[in-house]
Each structure stands twice: as C-alpha cells, then as structure tokens.
Amino acid sequence: MEGYQFDSAFVANETQDYRPIPEDRYVLRITETRPKEVRDESGNLVKSSVQFVYEVVEGEYAGRLIFENFYFYGVKPGAIDRARNNLSRLMNAVGIKTMTNTNQLIGYEFEALVVVRKGNEGFSDSNEISRRYARTVKEESEPAASENSELGW
C-alpha cells in the first residue's frame, strides 16, 4: 500500500507478560468464545470443546487475559459433567438462564476466584477459575450537597 509507512521495531519491542496473576478475586469480562473441534480421518466430529477468554477489567491486572476450556467429551472421567457444571455456574453468575450459543455471553462481567494451577509435563503455571460469583457493584459515595440541594433537583 502506497503512502503508508510502518516501523516493525515498534511491534518487536512490545512484551507480553504470560506469568499467572496472583490468586485473588477479580472482575472478569467474557471477551471471546472459541469452539474447538477434533475430527477423525473420515471427517466425523469426535470431540468438541469451547474455550472462553476472559479479561480482567479492574485493578492492577486490568487487561490481562485468562483462558478456560469447557470439554464436552470424555477425555478424563467426569469431564462432561465438570464442563456442564462450570458453564451453568458461569451462566448463573452473569444472570443468563438459557442460551443457544456461547457467543451470547460475550460482554458479560462476573467476579471469579482465580487461582494458580501448577504446571506439569513441561507446561508452565497458569491461572484457573476456582469459583464464579455474580458481580457486586460498589456503592458510589453520596454526591456532595450543592447550593441547589434544597430545591429538590
């Protein structure tokens, strides 16, 4: 494209921090859901999962991302039940009773107890959501009285 100048050094100098954030309770926003499918050699769907991407929206770690996978196939005993239970807890935390598509949850915020899961088999430590809560809104302080307060407006 003519008339556009780009310096690749700008992007090369950016760094992304992939270390887990400390264990604590955070306000998270659902920013993306990514369906993941695995097919056999014949093209038949054999496994299905959904990855949720959450963004921390407040505090020191605002902007950091947390990923959660919901496995709807039985890789390990109880995987499907865990996925259903955790998805149900997430829906309750954001106040949604039914849905037909996980994208319907994008943009909703909730609170979560985020813990650090120790890495194994060559994987690094990562964050994991331990509990989900409905978002509590902090009460705003009473506005200061103005000279027109006694007028009722």
How far apart CA 67 and CA 119 sit, in angstroms, is: 15
What CA–CA distance (Å, rounded) separates 53 from 33? 6
For residue 68, the cross-strand partners are 52
Burial class, 52, CB count within 10 angstroms (exposed 0-12 / middle 13-18 / buried 19+): buried
- Cα Dmax for the chain: 77
Q: Where are the domains of the chain?
A: 17-136
pLDDT tens, position by position, 11-52: 555 566 778 999 999 999 999 999 888 776 787 777 788 999
Per-residue pLDDT at 149 exceeds 50: no
The predicted structure's pLDDT at residue 9: 61
Reduced to 3 states (helix: H, G, I; strand: E, B; else coil), residue 63 is: coil
pLDDT in tens, 89-109: 999 999 999 999 999 999 999
- Confirm if 84 and 97 have CB atoms less than 8 A apart: no
What's the predicted TM-score (pTM) here? Answer: 0.74
Alpha-carbon distance of 71 to 87, in angstroms, equals 10
pLDDT at position 141, please? 45
H/E run at residue 88: helix 79-94
Judged against a pLDDT cut of 50, whether residue 150 lies above it is answered with no
Q: Is the pLDDT of residue 110 over 80?
A: yes
Tell me which of 87 and 140 has the higher pLDDT. 87
pLDDT band per the 50, 70, 90 thresholds, residue 61: very high
